[in-house]
Amino acid sequence: MFVDQVRVTVKAGKGGNGCVSFRREYRVPKGGPDGGRGGDGGSVYFVSDASVSSLSWFRFHPDLKAKNGAHGEGSNRQGKRGADLRLRVPVGTVVKEKDSDEALFDFIRPGQIFEAARRGRGGRGNASFATSTRQAPREARPGTPGEVKELSLELKLIADVGLVGFPNAGKSTLISKISAARPLIADYPFTTLTPNLGVVDIGEYRSFVVADIPGLVAGAHLGQGLGVRFLRHIERTKMLVHLVDVSPYTGRDPVEDYHVIMKELRAFNPEVAARPQVLAANKVDLLGKDKSRLTSIKKLAAGKKIPFFAVSAIKEEGLRPLVEALARGLARLGEGSGEGGPE
Protein backbone atom coordinates (compact mmCIF):
# COMPACT_ATOMS: atom_id res chain seq x y z
CA MET A 1 0.00 0.00 0.00
CA PHE A 2 1.39 3.39 -1.00
CA VAL A 3 0.90 5.98 1.76
CA ASP A 4 2.49 9.40 1.36
CA GLN A 5 1.08 11.38 4.30
CA VAL A 6 0.55 10.34 7.92
CA ARG A 7 0.24 11.89 11.35
CA VAL A 8 2.09 10.43 14.30
CA THR A 9 2.68 11.13 17.97
CA VAL A 10 6.24 10.57 19.16
CA LYS A 11 7.14 10.35 22.84
CA ALA A 12 10.66 10.16 24.20
CA GLY A 13 11.33 8.08 27.31
CA LYS A 14 11.14 9.54 30.81
CA GLY A 15 14.31 9.67 32.86
CA GLY A 16 14.52 7.34 35.86
CA ASN A 17 14.24 8.71 39.40
CA GLY A 18 17.29 9.18 41.59
CA CYS A 19 17.62 6.91 44.64
CA VAL A 20 17.89 7.75 48.35
CA SER A 21 20.07 5.08 49.95
CA PHE A 22 22.76 4.76 52.66
CA ARG A 23 25.59 2.29 52.76
CA ARG A 24 25.06 -0.24 55.57
CA GLU A 25 27.72 -2.90 55.89
CA TYR A 26 29.25 -4.85 58.70
CA ARG A 27 32.04 -2.89 60.36
CA VAL A 28 31.30 0.23 58.30
CA PRO A 29 29.59 2.43 60.91
CA LYS A 30 29.63 5.57 58.77
CA GLY A 31 28.79 4.32 55.31
CA GLY A 32 27.24 7.51 54.02
CA PRO A 33 24.83 8.11 51.12
CA ASP A 34 25.12 5.80 48.08
CA GLY A 35 21.95 6.43 46.06
CA GLY A 36 22.63 6.35 42.32
CA ARG A 37 21.09 8.56 39.66
CA GLY A 38 18.33 7.42 37.31
CA GLY A 39 19.07 6.45 33.74
CA ASP A 40 18.21 8.75 30.86
CA GLY A 41 15.19 7.87 28.76
CA GLY A 42 15.43 6.97 25.09
CA SER A 43 15.08 9.49 22.26
CA VAL A 44 13.00 9.05 19.09
CA TYR A 45 14.89 9.33 15.81
CA PHE A 46 13.84 9.22 12.16
CA VAL A 47 16.39 7.72 9.76
CA SER A 48 16.11 7.91 5.96
CA ASP A 49 16.44 4.54 4.23
CA ALA A 50 16.55 4.01 0.45
CA SER A 51 14.96 0.55 0.84
CA VAL A 52 11.74 2.08 2.22
CA SER A 53 9.32 3.45 -0.38
CA SER A 54 6.17 4.35 1.57
CA LEU A 55 4.92 5.63 4.93
CA SER A 56 2.39 2.79 5.20
CA TRP A 57 3.97 1.33 8.38
CA PHE A 58 3.17 4.52 10.26
CA ARG A 59 -0.48 4.35 9.25
CA PHE A 60 -0.90 1.37 11.57
CA HIS A 61 1.55 2.60 14.22
CA PRO A 62 0.64 6.25 14.88
CA ASP A 63 1.78 6.27 18.53
CA LEU A 64 5.52 5.83 18.89
CA LYS A 65 7.30 5.73 22.25
CA ALA A 66 10.91 5.20 23.29
CA LYS A 67 11.79 3.30 26.49
CA ASN A 68 11.93 4.96 29.90
CA GLY A 69 15.16 5.05 31.90
CA ALA A 70 15.46 2.78 34.94
CA HIS A 71 15.50 4.20 38.46
CA GLY A 72 18.76 4.58 40.36
CA GLU A 73 19.66 2.06 43.07
CA GLY A 74 21.81 1.80 46.17
CA SER A 75 25.55 1.12 46.09
CA ASN A 76 25.86 4.04 43.67
CA ARG A 77 24.25 2.02 40.88
CA GLN A 78 22.96 4.21 38.07
CA GLY A 79 19.73 3.21 36.37
CA LYS A 80 19.93 1.72 32.89
CA ARG A 81 19.38 4.13 30.04
CA GLY A 82 16.20 3.63 28.03
CA ALA A 83 16.61 2.33 24.48
CA ASP A 84 16.26 4.84 21.64
CA LEU A 85 13.55 4.33 19.04
CA ARG A 86 14.89 4.59 15.47
CA LEU A 87 12.23 4.77 12.77
CA ARG A 88 12.99 4.27 9.08
CA VAL A 89 11.39 6.65 6.57
CA PRO A 90 11.71 6.93 2.78
CA VAL A 91 14.14 9.36 1.22
CA GLY A 92 12.08 12.43 0.36
CA THR A 93 10.14 12.50 3.64
CA VAL A 94 9.47 15.91 5.20
CA VAL A 95 8.84 16.05 8.96
CA LYS A 96 6.45 18.84 9.95
CA GLU A 97 4.76 20.19 13.05
CA LYS A 98 1.19 18.92 12.86
CA ASP A 99 -0.52 22.17 13.81
CA SER A 100 1.72 24.87 12.33
CA ASP A 101 2.81 22.82 9.26
CA GLU A 102 6.34 24.12 9.87
CA ALA A 103 8.97 21.91 8.24
CA LEU A 104 11.39 20.55 10.86
CA PHE A 105 13.54 18.30 8.67
CA ASP A 106 13.76 17.24 5.03
CA PHE A 107 15.33 13.87 4.18
CA ILE A 108 17.00 14.31 0.79
CA ARG A 109 19.48 11.43 0.89
CA PRO A 110 19.85 8.02 2.58
CA GLY A 111 21.35 7.78 6.05
CA GLN A 112 20.25 11.15 7.41
CA ILE A 113 19.13 11.18 11.06
CA PHE A 114 16.71 13.55 12.79
CA GLU A 115 15.98 13.60 16.52
CA ALA A 116 12.20 14.00 16.65
CA ALA A 117 11.76 13.82 20.44
CA ARG A 118 14.55 14.33 22.99
CA ARG A 119 14.94 11.97 25.94
CA GLY A 120 14.23 12.87 29.55
CA ARG A 121 17.23 13.12 31.89
CA GLY A 122 17.69 10.81 34.85
CA GLY A 123 17.27 12.32 38.33
CA ARG A 124 20.18 12.70 40.77
CA GLY A 125 20.55 10.27 43.65
CA ASN A 126 21.32 11.39 47.19
CA ALA A 127 25.01 10.49 46.81
CA SER A 128 25.42 13.48 44.48
CA PHE A 129 24.08 15.87 47.15
CA ALA A 130 26.69 14.96 49.77
CA THR A 131 29.10 17.73 50.83
CA SER A 132 31.60 18.24 53.63
CA THR A 133 28.93 20.01 55.68
CA ARG A 134 26.00 17.89 54.59
CA GLN A 135 27.11 14.30 54.90
CA ALA A 136 23.76 12.50 55.09
CA PRO A 137 21.39 14.10 52.52
CA ARG A 138 18.00 12.50 52.23
CA GLU A 139 16.93 13.97 48.94
CA ALA A 140 16.92 12.85 45.34
CA ARG A 141 15.49 14.20 42.10
CA PRO A 142 12.86 12.62 39.89
CA GLY A 143 13.63 12.03 36.24
CA THR A 144 12.43 14.60 33.73
CA PRO A 145 9.78 13.64 31.17
CA GLY A 146 10.75 13.09 27.56
CA GLU A 147 9.45 15.34 24.79
CA VAL A 148 6.07 14.57 23.27
CA LYS A 149 5.34 15.88 19.77
CA GLU A 150 2.56 15.52 17.26
CA LEU A 151 4.09 15.43 13.79
CA SER A 152 3.05 15.15 10.19
CA LEU A 153 5.16 13.01 7.83
CA GLU A 154 4.85 13.91 4.17
CA LEU A 155 6.57 12.01 1.38
CA LYS A 156 7.69 13.87 -1.74
CA LEU A 157 9.23 11.50 -4.25
CA ILE A 158 12.64 12.52 -5.50
CA ALA A 159 12.67 12.49 -9.30
CA ASP A 160 14.33 14.51 -12.05
CA VAL A 161 11.36 14.64 -14.44
CA GLY A 162 7.64 14.73 -13.68
CA LEU A 163 4.92 13.59 -16.11
CA VAL A 164 1.69 15.61 -15.97
CA GLY A 165 -1.47 15.55 -18.03
CA PHE A 166 -5.12 14.52 -18.15
CA PRO A 167 -6.18 11.00 -17.11
CA ASN A 168 -5.55 8.52 -19.94
CA ALA A 169 -3.16 10.87 -21.73
CA GLY A 170 -0.70 7.97 -21.81
CA LYS A 171 1.66 8.84 -18.94
CA SER A 172 1.77 5.31 -17.57
CA THR A 173 2.36 3.84 -21.02
CA LEU A 174 5.14 6.35 -21.65
CA ILE A 175 6.98 5.59 -18.39
CA SER A 176 6.64 1.85 -19.05
CA LYS A 177 8.27 2.27 -22.48
CA ILE A 178 11.21 4.48 -21.47
CA SER A 179 12.01 2.77 -18.16
CA ALA A 180 11.64 -0.55 -16.35
CA ALA A 181 8.59 0.69 -14.40
CA ARG A 182 5.47 -1.43 -14.84
CA PRO A 183 2.46 0.61 -13.70
CA LEU A 184 -1.14 -0.53 -14.11
CA ILE A 185 -2.40 0.44 -17.58
CA ALA A 186 -6.06 0.26 -18.60
CA ASP A 187 -8.55 2.01 -20.90
CA TYR A 188 -10.46 3.91 -18.22
CA PRO A 189 -9.78 7.24 -16.45
CA PHE A 190 -7.79 7.36 -13.21
CA THR A 191 -6.05 4.04 -13.84
CA THR A 192 -3.04 5.44 -12.00
CA LEU A 193 -3.99 5.94 -8.35
CA THR A 194 -0.49 6.35 -6.94
CA PRO A 195 2.71 7.93 -8.30
CA ASN A 196 5.14 5.65 -10.12
CA LEU A 197 8.89 6.05 -10.44
CA GLY A 198 10.98 4.83 -13.35
CA VAL A 199 14.72 5.01 -13.99
CA VAL A 200 15.56 5.92 -17.59
CA ASP A 201 18.92 4.57 -18.80
CA ILE A 202 20.55 6.92 -21.30
CA GLY A 203 23.81 4.99 -21.66
CA GLU A 204 27.37 5.72 -20.61
CA TYR A 205 26.43 4.92 -17.01
CA ARG A 206 23.99 7.83 -16.94
CA SER A 207 20.33 7.78 -15.97
CA PHE A 208 17.54 9.95 -14.65
CA VAL A 209 14.38 9.31 -12.66
CA VAL A 210 10.88 9.99 -14.01
CA ALA A 211 7.76 10.30 -11.84
CA ASP A 212 4.33 9.47 -13.31
CA ILE A 213 1.72 11.51 -11.43
CA PRO A 214 -1.99 10.51 -11.39
CA GLY A 215 -3.97 12.55 -13.93
CA LEU A 216 -5.41 15.98 -13.25
CA VAL A 217 -8.77 17.37 -14.35
CA ALA A 218 -10.32 20.84 -14.36
CA GLY A 219 -10.96 21.92 -10.77
CA ALA A 220 -8.35 19.55 -9.33
CA HIS A 221 -7.16 22.27 -6.92
CA LEU A 222 -10.72 22.32 -5.55
CA GLY A 223 -10.73 18.56 -5.04
CA GLN A 224 -12.20 17.42 -8.37
CA GLY A 225 -11.06 14.00 -9.57
CA LEU A 226 -8.13 12.91 -7.43
CA GLY A 227 -7.41 16.54 -6.54
CA VAL A 228 -3.83 17.76 -6.28
CA ARG A 229 -2.70 15.56 -3.36
CA PHE A 230 -0.14 13.79 -5.56
CA LEU A 231 1.35 16.94 -7.05
CA ARG A 232 3.69 17.23 -4.06
CA HIS A 233 5.67 14.46 -5.74
CA ILE A 234 6.78 16.76 -8.56
CA GLU A 235 7.79 19.63 -6.27
CA ARG A 236 11.38 18.34 -6.29
CA THR A 237 11.59 17.68 -10.04
CA LYS A 238 13.83 19.74 -12.29
CA MET A 239 11.71 19.42 -15.44
CA LEU A 240 8.15 18.59 -16.47
CA VAL A 241 6.86 16.60 -19.42
CA HIS A 242 3.40 17.86 -20.29
CA LEU A 243 1.69 14.98 -22.11
CA VAL A 244 -1.33 15.88 -24.26
CA ASP A 245 -3.65 13.36 -25.93
CA VAL A 246 -4.18 14.46 -29.56
CA SER A 247 -6.30 11.48 -30.62
CA PRO A 248 -9.76 12.39 -31.98
CA TYR A 249 -11.56 10.15 -29.48
CA THR A 250 -11.25 12.23 -26.30
CA GLY A 251 -13.91 14.79 -27.22
CA ARG A 252 -11.60 17.50 -25.87
CA ASP A 253 -9.40 20.14 -27.47
CA PRO A 254 -5.68 19.40 -26.81
CA VAL A 255 -4.87 23.12 -26.59
CA GLU A 256 -7.60 23.59 -23.99
CA ASP A 257 -6.28 20.51 -22.12
CA TYR A 258 -2.86 22.15 -21.92
CA HIS A 259 -4.27 25.38 -20.48
CA VAL A 260 -6.42 23.48 -17.96
CA ILE A 261 -3.45 21.52 -16.60
CA MET A 262 -1.26 24.63 -16.42
CA LYS A 263 -4.02 26.43 -14.51
CA GLU A 264 -4.14 23.60 -11.98
CA LEU A 265 -0.35 23.57 -11.61
CA ARG A 266 -0.29 27.33 -10.99
CA ALA A 267 -3.09 27.01 -8.43
CA PHE A 268 -1.09 24.31 -6.63
CA ASN A 269 2.36 25.93 -6.75
CA PRO A 270 3.42 28.69 -9.17
CA GLU A 271 7.07 27.64 -8.83
CA VAL A 272 6.25 24.15 -10.11
CA ALA A 273 4.30 25.58 -13.05
CA ALA A 274 7.32 27.73 -13.94
CA ARG A 275 9.73 24.78 -14.18
CA PRO A 276 11.34 24.03 -17.56
CA GLN A 277 9.01 21.79 -19.49
CA VAL A 278 8.65 19.75 -22.65
CA LEU A 279 5.35 19.41 -24.48
CA ALA A 280 4.66 15.96 -25.95
CA ALA A 281 1.66 15.19 -28.16
CA ASN A 282 0.79 11.53 -27.59
CA LYS A 283 -1.25 9.00 -29.62
CA VAL A 284 -0.31 10.50 -33.00
CA ASP A 285 -0.83 7.03 -34.47
CA LEU A 286 -4.60 7.52 -34.07
CA LEU A 287 -4.85 10.81 -35.97
CA GLY A 288 -5.51 9.48 -39.45
CA LYS A 289 -5.48 12.05 -42.24
CA ASP A 290 -6.70 14.97 -40.15
CA LYS A 291 -3.63 16.48 -38.46
CA SER A 292 -5.32 19.67 -37.29
CA ARG A 293 -5.23 18.68 -33.60
CA LEU A 294 -1.50 18.02 -33.82
CA THR A 295 -0.92 21.25 -35.73
CA SER A 296 -2.78 23.35 -33.14
CA ILE A 297 -0.81 22.03 -30.17
CA LYS A 298 2.47 22.30 -32.08
CA LYS A 299 1.64 25.94 -32.84
CA LEU A 300 0.97 26.53 -29.13
CA ALA A 301 4.39 25.08 -28.23
CA ALA A 302 6.11 27.25 -30.84
CA GLY A 303 4.38 30.36 -29.51
CA LYS A 304 5.50 29.62 -25.95
CA LYS A 305 8.96 28.45 -27.10
CA ILE A 306 8.49 25.07 -25.47
CA PRO A 307 10.34 22.05 -26.93
CA PHE A 308 7.73 19.93 -28.75
CA PHE A 309 7.63 16.23 -29.63
CA ALA A 310 5.02 14.15 -31.44
CA VAL A 311 5.04 10.62 -30.03
CA SER A 312 3.12 7.39 -29.87
CA ALA A 313 3.99 5.79 -26.53
CA ILE A 314 2.14 2.54 -27.28
CA LYS A 315 4.05 2.07 -30.57
CA GLU A 316 7.29 3.54 -29.20
CA GLU A 317 7.46 6.18 -31.94
CA GLY A 318 9.37 9.40 -31.28
CA LEU A 319 10.44 8.35 -27.78
CA ARG A 320 14.18 8.39 -28.33
CA PRO A 321 14.34 12.08 -29.33
CA LEU A 322 12.16 12.92 -26.33
CA VAL A 323 14.43 11.05 -23.91
CA GLU A 324 17.55 12.63 -25.42
CA ALA A 325 16.03 16.11 -25.10
CA LEU A 326 15.25 15.44 -21.43
CA ALA A 327 18.80 14.22 -20.82
CA ARG A 328 20.24 17.35 -22.44
CA GLY A 329 17.91 19.58 -20.45
CA LEU A 330 18.87 17.90 -17.17
CA ALA A 331 22.54 18.22 -18.05
CA ARG A 332 22.09 21.95 -18.49
CA LEU A 333 20.26 22.23 -15.17
CA GLY A 334 22.85 20.11 -13.38
CA GLU A 335 22.56 16.35 -13.37
CA GLY A 336 21.45 14.44 -10.30
CA SER A 337 19.03 11.73 -9.36
CA GLY A 338 17.40 10.71 -6.10
CA GLU A 339 16.27 7.36 -4.71
CA GLY A 340 13.27 6.74 -1.34
CA GLY A 341 9.16 1.26 10.63
CA PRO A 342 11.74 0.48 13.01
CA GLU A 343 15.22 -0.81 12.22
What percent of the chain has pLDDT above 70? Answer: 88
**pLDDT at residue 205 in the model:** 64
pLDDT band at 226 (very low <50, low <70, confident <90, very high): very low
Mean per-residue pLDDT for 231-237? 82
Residue 289 has pLDDT above 70, yes or no: yes
Q: Which CATH number fits domain 161-333: 3.40.50.300, 3.40.30.10, 3.40.50.2300, 3.40.640.10?
A: 3.40.50.300
pLDDT band at 318 (very low <50, low <70, confident <90, very high): very high
CATH 3.40.50.300 domain range(s) in the chain: 161-333
Calpha distance 103→302 (Å, rounded): 40
**pLDDT at residue 264 in the model:** 85
Mean per-residue pLDDT for 6-27? 93
**pLDDT at residue 62 in the model:** 95
**pLDDT at residue 69 in the model:** 97
pLDDT band at 222 (very low <50, low <70, confident <90, very high): low
Q: Please check whether the domain covering 1-155 is classified as CATH 2.70.210.12.
A: yes
Residue 338 has pLDDT above 60, yes or no: no
Residue 111 has pLDDT above 80, yes or no: yes
**pLDDT at residue 2 in the model:** 61
Residue 170 has pLDDT above 90, yes or no: no
**pLDDT at residue 181 in the model:** 64
Calpha distance 329→277 (Å, rounded): 9
pLDDT greater at residue 203 or residue 8: 8
Q: Residues 288-309, buried b or exposed e (16+ Cβ, 10 A)?
A: eeeeebbebbbebbeeeeebbb
Residue 185 has pLDDT above 80, yes or no: no
Residue 8 · residue 151 · CB < 8 Å:
yes
What is the spatial order of strands in the sheet that 277-282 belongs to?
196-203, 206-212, 161-164, 239-245, 277-282, 308-310
CATH 2.70.210.12 domain range(s) in the chain: 1-155
Angle at 138 between CA 133 and CA 143, to 5 degrees: 120
